[in-house]
């Protein structure tokens, strides 16, 4: 069945639908990963977004339930050049198309994804509508007007506290949309994890006496989470705090720095980042549309990592305020795994912070 993507700037791209056919509105972004589409689909950081895959053939190894990063698909839609109808892999449990139908997600194939990606790079990230209907201009304008991004974290965060009990290091995770593989990486390092909703107070966390606190990844504009930023300020200097992606941005705002929206963001598994402490370059997995403004960071904050494509901040730390954070995704899923040493550094940082107290 014919479907189409309608962009905010008036461009319409036609294709063929797969998955469900209900009209969906989302922020259109592109990802340059060649594999890992199911991890992308289930990453809570993509909540509310329509993801364009630049790699032309998607779905060729099907879907398995071991690699999912959350309990459901979080994207609003998936746009590909070609959806593989007959995947082949020994771990395959179903096709991509069947999975999108079960998860009520709009898929659109046979789209000129190269042209679409070039448009997003030139114009910048835009909202879009996936539909099979012939919508009037009034209907299109109404759908765009109703699209609200401010409550995305509330939608993906856990609604109640829960524990992953194995381990001797007590870690409090504030869930802004945490990926499954992040929790697994901490578990590998002997952490007993307690996960809290995004709106948990600092008082609640401190009274449970964790060894350190982790601020997770998640969707949306960090400046929308004013209450969370206020609570993070209360943690700084009292307990070691580490963060990834949105957690890194929230931590930066809590110390008085500023963030800004990027033109089209960093999304993919091939971004070079320099670890300034090690003087080494790593290829990283990334997924963010906002970045910390370098010139707003205090001189007391050490910049530990930079992106070699555009020189943006990819990591910061402070011994005085006991925090360390990373903008990219060291847990991969998808993407290269060579940055998983960051989790060892998080553990070492918390131990070093306590040794200095």
Q: What is the pLDDT along the chain (357 residues), one digit of tens a residue?
A: 899 999 999 999 999 999 999 999 999 999 999 999 999 999 999 999 999 999 999 999 999 999 999 999 999 999 999 999 999 999 999 999 999 999 999 999 999 999 999 999 999 999 999 999 999 999 999 999 999 989 999 999 999 999 998 899 999 999 999 999 999 999 999 999 999 999 999 999 999 999 999 999 999 999 999 999 999 999 999 999 999 999 999 999 999 999 999 999 999 999 999 999 999 999 999 999 999 999 999 999 999 999 999 999 999 999 999 999 999 999 999 999 999 999 999 999 999 877 565
| DSSP of 253-315 | HHTT--EEEEEEEEEEEEEEEEETTTTEEEEEEEEEEEEE-GGGS-TTSEEEEEETTT--EEE
Choose among 290, 223, 317, 286: nearest CA to 31: 286
329 in catalytic set: yes
Q: Which strand ranges, in their side-by-side order, compose the sheet holding 212-215?
A: 162-164, 191-197, 169-175, 212-215, 241-244, 323-326, 313-318, 302-307, 259-275, 280-292
| DSSP of 105-135 | -EEEES--HHHHHHHHHHH--EEEEEESS--
Enumerate domains of the chain plus CATH numbers.
2-147 (3.50.30.20), 153-355 (3.40.50.880)
| CA 42 to centroid of chain Cα atoms | 10
Q: Give the active site residue among 245, 271, 305, 317.
A: 245
Choose among 251, 253, 229: nearest CA to 242: 251
Q: Give the active site residue among 248, 266, 271, 329.
A: 329
Sort strands 126-131 and 323-326 into parallel, antiparallel or unpaired. unpaired
Choose among 76, 98, 102: nearest CA to 87: 98
The two tokens of residue 303 are: 């910049």
Strand ranges (E), the chain: 2-7, 12-19, 24-31, 49-53, 57-58, 77-79, 82-83, 106-109, 126-131, 162-164, 169-175, 191-197, 212-215, 241-244, 259-275, 280-292, 302-307, 313-318, 323-326
331 in catalytic set: yes
Judge residue 189's burial from the number of C-beta atoms within 10 Å of its C-beta, 0-12 exposed, 13-18 middle, 19 or more buried.
middle
Q: Give the active site residue among 27, 97, 317, 331.
A: 331
Report how far residue 320's alpha carbon sits from residue 247's, in angstroms, rounded to the nearest whole number.
19
**Lookup result for tokens 């008085």:** 256
Report how far residue 349's alpha carbon sits from residue 329's, in angstroms, rounded to the nearest whole number.
18
**Looking at residue 237, what is its pLDDT?**
94
The two tokens of residue 351 are: 């131990």
161 in catalytic set: no
**Looking at residue 355, what is its pLDDT?**
59
Report how far residue 196's alpha carbon sits from residue 180's, in angstroms, rounded to the nearest whole number.
15
Largest interatomic CA distance in the chain: 65
**Looking at residue 356, what is its pLDDT?**
60
* pTM, full prediction: 0.96
Strand ranges (E), 178-233: 191-197, 212-215
Judge residue 206's burial from the number of C-beta atoms within 10 Å of its C-beta, 0-12 exposed, 13-18 middle, 19 or more buried.
middle
Count, residues in the chain: 357
């Amino acid at each position: 069945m014919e479907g189409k993507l309608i962009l905010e700037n008036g461009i319409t791209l036609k294709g063929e639908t797969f998955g469900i056919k209900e009209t969906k509105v989302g922020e259109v972004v592109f990802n340059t990963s060649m594999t890992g589409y199911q991890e992308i689909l289930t990453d809570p950081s993509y909540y509310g977004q329509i993801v364009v895959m630049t790699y032309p053939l998607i779905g060729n190894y099907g879907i398995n339930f071991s690699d999912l990063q959350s309990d459901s698909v979080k994207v609003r839609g998936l746009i590909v050049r070609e959806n593989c109808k007959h995947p082949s892999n020994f771990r395959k449990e179903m096709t991509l198309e069947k999975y999108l139908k079960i998860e009520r997600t709009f898929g659109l194939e046979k789209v000129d994804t190269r042209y679409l990606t070039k448009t997003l790079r030139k114009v910048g990230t835009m909202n879009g509508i996936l539909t099979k209907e012939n919508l009037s201009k009034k209907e299109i304008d109404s759908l765009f007007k109703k699209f609200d991004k401010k409550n995305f974290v509330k939608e993906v965060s856990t609604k109640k506290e829960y524990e992953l009990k194995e381990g001797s290091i007590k870690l409090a995770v504030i869930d802004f949309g945490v990926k499954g593989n992040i929790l697994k990486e901490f578990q590998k390092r002997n952490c007993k994890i307690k996960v809290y909703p995004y709106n948990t107070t600092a008082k609640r966390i401190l009274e449970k006496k964790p060894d350190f606190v982790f601020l997770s990844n998640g969707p949306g504009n960090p400046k929308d989470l004013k209450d969370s930023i206020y609570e993070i300020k209360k943690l700084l200097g009292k307990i070691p705090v580490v963060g990834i992606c949105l957690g890194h941005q929230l931590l930066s705002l809590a110390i008085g720095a500023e963030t800004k929206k990027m033109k089209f963001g960093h999304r993919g598994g091939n971004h070079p980042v320099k670890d300034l402490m090690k003087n080494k370059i790593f290829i990283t997995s990334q997924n963010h549309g906002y970045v910390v403004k370098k010139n707003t960071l205090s001189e007391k904050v050490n910049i530990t990592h930079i992106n070699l494509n555009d020189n943006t901040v990819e990591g910061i730390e402070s011994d005085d305020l006991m925090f360390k954070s990373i903008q990219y995704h060291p847990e991969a899923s998808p993407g290269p795994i060579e940055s998983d040493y960051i989790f060892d550094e998080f553990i070492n940082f918390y131990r070093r912070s306590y040794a200095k107290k």
